[in-house]
Homo-oligomer: A and B are copies of this chain.
Amino acid sequence: MTPTGHEVLAGVLRIRANRLQALLWQRAKPPHPNRWSLPGGRLGPDETVEYSIRRQLAEKVDVRELTHVEQLSVFSSPDRIPGSRTVATAFLGLIPSDTDPELPDDTCWHPVDSLPETAFDHEGILLAARERLRAKLSYTNIGFALAPPKFTVSELRDIYSAALGYRVSATNLQRVLSRRGALEATGQTVAAGPSGGRPPALFRFTSRDLQITDAFAVLRPPG
């Protein structure tokens, strides 16, 4: 019996041109030549899966541009990789919308809602990554990982709309995030657009660490 190998894979997402995009590289050699693959690789002997995925992503994009990385799930179907037993630990990675990392020649961004032919079970992993992102946008401050350091409320609305897949209200977005303490004004403004309008104010996220907004009734200790 072949030994069971372990690989780490990441669905790396960003917003660009009001679309949610994923990082993929095109395979040259078999198996699955020409199809598109998630970044990642074999788990090294002396590293955790978290360290491994960050190390291997550094070959594709600058590590400092990754604003968030979290474990998604284990994919372990025996036949997910033909010919070799390989278990994969999948991750979600996020990159701000204003950074444009240099990419290897075989690597580029693809809109998640119109993916090319993907290798193995990588499409399922990507969809799981998108679902996790969408869920966390609603009950955490994870938007900081997609947004630039400073932004207008309209820009943030476009980012949230693209990630969630439906239009959100700028008014409510600001009020909700402000009430949660996730957003704060910088005091600065930028020039109005070509069609005029009031010059928008610049905001930033209060924290760049993931924080969960506790939400529900039953879970709150009495007080």
Contacts and interface: CB of A to CB of B under 8 A. Distances in A.
A27 interface: no
Contacts of A74: 49, 71, 74, 89
Contacts of A218: 137-138, 160, 164, 168, 172-173, 176
Q: How many copies does the complex hold?
A: 2
A45 interface: yes
A102 to B, nearest CB: 30
A213 B218 CA distance: 13
Contacts of A50: 76
A218 to B, nearest CB: 5
Contact of A219 (B45, B137, B217): B137
A164 B219 contact: yes
A172 B135 contact: no
Contacts of A168: 218, 222
Interface of A: 1, 3-6, 43, 45-50, 71, 73-74, 76-78, 85, 87, 89, 134-135, 137-139, 160, 164, 166-169, 172-173, 176, 213, 215-219, 221-222
